[in-house]
Chains A and B, each alone.
Chain A
Amino acid sequence: MRAYISSLCFLLIVSMKLEASEPQDIVIVVNKNNPIEQVTHRQLIDMYMGKYLAFPNGHMAITLDYRKEHPLRSAFFKALTGRNISQINAYWSRVKFSGKASPPQAYPSTEAIIDKVITTPSAIAYLPASAVTDELKVVYRFVQ
């Protein structure tokens, strides 16, 4: 029985790993109360790359990101800018030096991001499509 459970667990882990490594849709979410219904790809770039810290309607926006080691980050920036993560990191290290713009706040996991979006009306973040809940509003969807 124990052997059966452990083998089941192993299968689960393997299946989870397989699921994680597969390409998956990434969506942009905001607080449910945010009046914004959708954003454009371009507006997303400008917000995430530090050009504008506001929604298209002029309200301030707080961009949320994952920590450097998070696997979703690389996929997101690739989808957003067409560049790999090392180029994005180089960009930020150059921009931070002059102090004009600063990178988004970094969080360790999707759960932490979801909590932050739910509690912050001006937050904007990206999630795997599968992680979206009813308390979030999807404003953009990257199609793989």
Chain B
Amino acid sequence: MLILSLSTFAFSVVYAKIYYHHVFDTELKRLESTVRQISQTVSSTASIAAYLEDKDLANEVVNGLVSNDIILSAALTNKQTVLAKSILYKDQGALPFYLPNPFILQENIGIIYVVPNTLYIEQNARDSAFSSVQTLLVVVLPMLLLFAVLALFLISRPLGHLSKQLASVLPGSAQRIYVDPLNDQNEIGKIGKDINVMLANTETLFEQERSLRVEVEKLEKRFRLMFERSSSPTVLVKEHGEVILVNDAAKDLLAGMGIDSEERFPENLGQFCKTPDILYTFTENSIKLKQVMQSEFEFTNPLTLSSVWLSLIILNTKSDGQWYFQVFLADITARKTMLNQLSHRAQRDSLTSLYNRYGAELTLMEWIDSETQFSLLLIDLDKFKPVNDIYGHNAGDEVLKQIAKRLAQLVPNTELVSRWGGDEFVVAIKDVNIVKVNHMAQQVLDEINTSITYEKNGHRIELNVSASIGIAHFPMHADSLKGLVECADVAMYSVKKTSKNNFTIYST
């Protein structure tokens, strides 16, 4: 409404201004043309005055001209002289009117100079323009006012009413706006009806939206249930390690390891991992390559200080331009322990609990692979068969057990003691010189030579055995395990054939 009034006012002002200028210009032209006409009227008398050089007649002409309000001053000249001029006459702004010879029309004999009364003419034009504008405004302003009032009552008010109603309508509800029957046939009524059509459409759309949302919520609930109740511990992580979702199984697992489930991944696991560097490299690669990756890591449970093995599977998914990582955890400690036990069993001799030949070979192969220098002592018991034959297998087993125990005590944990097979033992010692090896061989012999007490049927029996020991050095004597054992074997046999109960180092 304010805009309407303002634009009405602005229009009036602009129109009045244009009209004023128009009237002013027209009036100015009219007055100038009047000056021309007056000058034309006196030109025949003026011609005569110029022809006869009659100053009186010339004065009469000039005075006649000046008596007009719109002429400020005038002068009449013939070719040579000024015949008459009014007191205020100046050349500036004078309009010349050429005077012909009254009898020879082609000949100019003089000029009338007329100076229009510009101030008077302009004032006149202004007055005339102003009064025209006044008249115009008297007509136009009430008309515009009437227009504005009609616009207010016929357009602005009904529109305002519609807009107020529309503002109070809740989108999607069954509410409709009221259309005045007076406006039923006009544009206002049409707008109202269109709004109602739109509201009806909106309601339908909202209805569809609502039922869809219910569907989506139902589905989401199911998926959430699947995720949360899943027995597989699962964690959903954003690209930079922010943990978004943790299901119940994962919560239990992490809580069991004293890890806060809100902590960032993979630092939450890394702090207790035995090989955190490998864990971090693994997760980094998985994130970088966007591939499914699986690996197993050993952790120390800070609560129980026991070893925990976890399997990690990282799955990358992209959703709405954002990368997510599904981390599946699995506690594989039990399986790992079982495997360790199996492996232990495979590598151990059940009678003596020492490494068996297979276990010893694994260790020695490792040493050879890492180029660790070592001496291998192949120990073969002398006089063992008679013990078995005379006192029975149990006695023989007891001998083997006792010797194994003594050797295990004698040789440091870092070195190797094993039952190579039957009555053969292998001891391997790293980084030793010949003196130490000899010393160790002597100590082994001493331990074996010490009598073994065996009880059978309440009788204490002293059992005595000895041993032949062949020694070979890696890599001095051979650069493979097979070759090394052969060398030791050769050395051992040379003892066995000669003195027995002795040791010797392989020599070519």
Contacts and interface: CB of A to CB of B under 8 A. Distances in A.
A100 B56 contact: yes
Interface string A12-30: 0000000000000000000
Contacts of B104: 42, 45
Nearest to B101: A45
A2 interface: no
Most chain A beta-carbon neighbours within 10 Å: one of B48, B60, B102, B103: B103
A100 B51 contact: no
A112 to B, nearest CB: 26
Interface of A: 42, 45, 49-51, 80-83, 91, 94-95, 98-101
A91 B101 CA distance: 13
Contact of B51 (A42, A51, A82, A83): A51
14 contacts: A45-B103, A45-B104, A50-B52, A51-B51, A80-B103, A91-B102, A94-B45, A94-B48, A95-B57, A98-B56, A98-B57, A98-B60, A100-B52, A100-B57
Please give me the 3 A-B residue pairs with the lowest Cβ-Cβ distance, nearest first.
A81-B103, A100-B54, A98-B56
Nearest to A101: B52
Given A98-B54, A100-B56, A100-B57, 16 more contacts: A42-B104, A45-B104, A49-B51, A49-B102, A49-B103, A51-B51, A80-B103, A81-B103, A82-B105, A83-B103, A91-B102, A94-B48, A95-B54, A95-B57, A98-B57, A101-B54
Interface of B: 45, 48, 51-52, 54, 56-57, 60, 102-105
B57 A82 contact: no
B103 A82 contact: yes
A51 B52 contact: yes
Contacts of A49: 51, 102-103
Contact of B56 (A50, A83, A99): A99
Nearest to B107: A42
A14 B201 CA distance: 116
A95 B49 CA distance: 8
Nearest to B47: A91
A26 to B, nearest CB: 16
Contacts of B45: 94
A1 B282 CA distance: 172
A23 B105 CA distance: 25
A80 B56 CA distance: 26
Contact of A91 (B48, B56, B60, B105): B48
Contacts of A101: 52, 54
A18 B103 CA distance: 31
Contacts of B48: 91, 94-95
A42 B54 CA distance: 19
Contacts of B103: 45, 49, 80-83
A8 B305 CA distance: 181
A101 B51 CA distance: 11
Contacts of A80: 103
Nearest to A88: B103
A80 B103 CA distance: 8
Nearest to B57: A98
Contacts of B56: 98-100
Nearest to A83: B103
Most chain A beta-carbon neighbours within 10 Å: one of B51, B56, B60: B51
B60 to A, nearest CB: 7
